[in-house]
Structure 1
Amino acid sequence: MKEVEIPKATARRLPIYHRYLRFLHEAGKRRISSTELSEAVKVDSATIRRDFSYFGALGKRGYGYDVEYLLEFFGRTLNQDRLKNVALVGVGNLGQALLNYNFSQSNNVRISAGFDVSEGVVGRIVSGVPVYALDDMVEQLKVQQIELVILTVPQDKAQDIADMLVEANVKGILNFTPIRLSVPKEVRVQNVDLTNELQTLIYFLDNNR
């Protein structure tokens, strides 16, 4: 069977569906329609049906979707049965907030190592996570076989550290800096620019009045 390429927009919505399906399952819900799911996740029902259609016949006309089946299916699709260790580079205010974040909503993500230059955190356990010196980062990432990194460093250091991450064979970077990183094409970068998102929100508020 020919493999179908899943659009990026659809892939971004899968964790949202999975998280809400888990809530439904824990509440004892057995089945749900695309309309009900639409109201809960704020995605229109036509989009939900189209997203699901990429994976074959997941529901039945007149019945809807089996909650337990969808939960298990998207769990396998998102590799929820396989733990992903993630490193945090930059254990400042934002970094420590992320360490304190409750990742229990995701069964397969755990921050297992932190890296920084500050003597105040290096060599300590912060929110249950050991923090190593930045000088040891490349070696530790290779030894611990960590391929995913959250980057929360000053913007003037971001590219240099990204180069080190490439050297350490990192395959994915969640970039919280405003700098657009230059990395090889096999390294995936997801940018999270909080200032840009806030300014965009302000723009829409000001122009919708």
Structure 2
Amino acid sequence: MSNKKKIPNATMKRLPLYYRYFKQEENNGNDRVSSKEISEALDIDSATIRRDFSYFGELGRKGYGYNVGSLLKFFLEYIQGNNVKNVILLGAGNLGRALLNYKFANIHDKMNIVGAFDSNESLIGNSINGTKIFHINDLETIIEQENVEVAIMTVPMEAGQQSAERLEKAGIKGILNFTPIRLHTGSDVTVHSIDLGVELQALFFQMKNK
């Protein structure tokens, strides 16, 4: 894919949704699906789906639809690549522990959470869903040992920016940020923020304007 078009961010964000959908269809024993079926399942209009897929070449055939196995393999390779992605979680509070119990393998079966980190002494040494909780002082050591480039951050708001700077200095290249602040990082660090309060407020607005 050396000559591939630049993929819009909106399309990139939908790729995991497509992958999960095709995975479910495979589990259900379905060999092929149409853009209409994908549209109804994901609540994304058919034109958007066809446009998204067009960035990657001819993925379907007119009158046939999309082959589930082929698309599943394609998106798996495109999203995940061939290497296992080691990830750490910073902040093992209520939200952090809930995320450790989430089955990330349903989306990314080559993602491995190698450790969680916190300063709460009562949590250190415990394991949640197979992930050990380390003291925050061990952060840089584990990142280096495990060649970690991605971090999930669920620390308190007041610790957000300082934590991001520490992660960047340790070599982290991608941060999934659950703190309700805008993080300032260098251009080589990709930050994706999820503010649950904002998402809930957006839901209220959408309900009001229906």
For Structure 1 versus Structure 2, the TM-score category normalised by the shorter chain is over 0.9
Post-superposition shift, 1:81?
A: 4.7
Q: Give structure 2 stretches of 5+ with no counterpart.
A: none
Can you list the C-alpha shifts for 1:11-57, whole angstroms capped at 9, x where unaligned?
Answer: 11111111111111122211111111111111111111011111111
CA distance in 1, matches of 2:127, 2:207: 42
The answer as to 2:3 corresponding to 1:8 is: no
Corresponding residue pairs, total: 208
Percent of paired sites with the same residue: 45
Taking the TM superposition and a 5 Å limit, the aligned residue runs for 1:84-103 are 84-103=85-104
Length-normalised TM-score, structure 2? 0.94
The counterpart of 2:168, out of the listed 162, 166, 172, is 166
- Is this contact kept in 2: 1:75–1:81, CA < 8 A? no
Corresponding position of 2:71 = 70
SS in structure 2 opposite 1:60? Answer: coil
Specify the alignment match of 1:180 in structure 2: 182
1:159 to partner: Cα distance: 1.0
Q: Secondary structure at the match of 1:50?
A: helix
Cα deviation digits, residues 152-190 of structure 1 (max 9, x gap): 011111111111101110000000001111100110000
Separation in structure 1 between the aligned mates of residue 83 and residue 42 of structure 2, nearest angstrom: 25
Structure 1 residue identity aligned to 2:127: I
CA positional deviation for 1:83 = 2.2
Q: Give the SS at the match of 2:114.
A: strand
Decide whether aligned partners of structure 1 residues 183 and 120 sit closer, same or farther in structure 2, where only a CA change above 3 A counts: same
**2:138 corresponds to which of 136, 141, 145:** 136
Give the 5 Å matches for 1:101-140.
Answer: 101-106=102-107, 107-140=109-142
Which residue of structure 2 aligns with residue 204 of structure 1?
Answer: 206
| Aligned counterparts of 1:203 and 1:172: Cα–Cα separation in 2 | 30
Indicate the RMSD between aligned Cα atoms, in angstroms.
Answer: 1.4
The Cα of 1:126 is off from its aligned counterpart by: 2.8
Normalised by the length of structure 1, the TM-score is 0.94
1:45-60 correspondence to structure 2 within 5 Å: 45-60=46-61
The 2-side partners of 1:204 and 1:44 are apart by: 18
Aligned partner of 2:61: which letter?
Answer: K
Query: Which residue identity does 2:205 align to in structure 1?
Result: Y
The structure 1 residue matched to 2:154, chosen from 125, 129, 152, is: 152
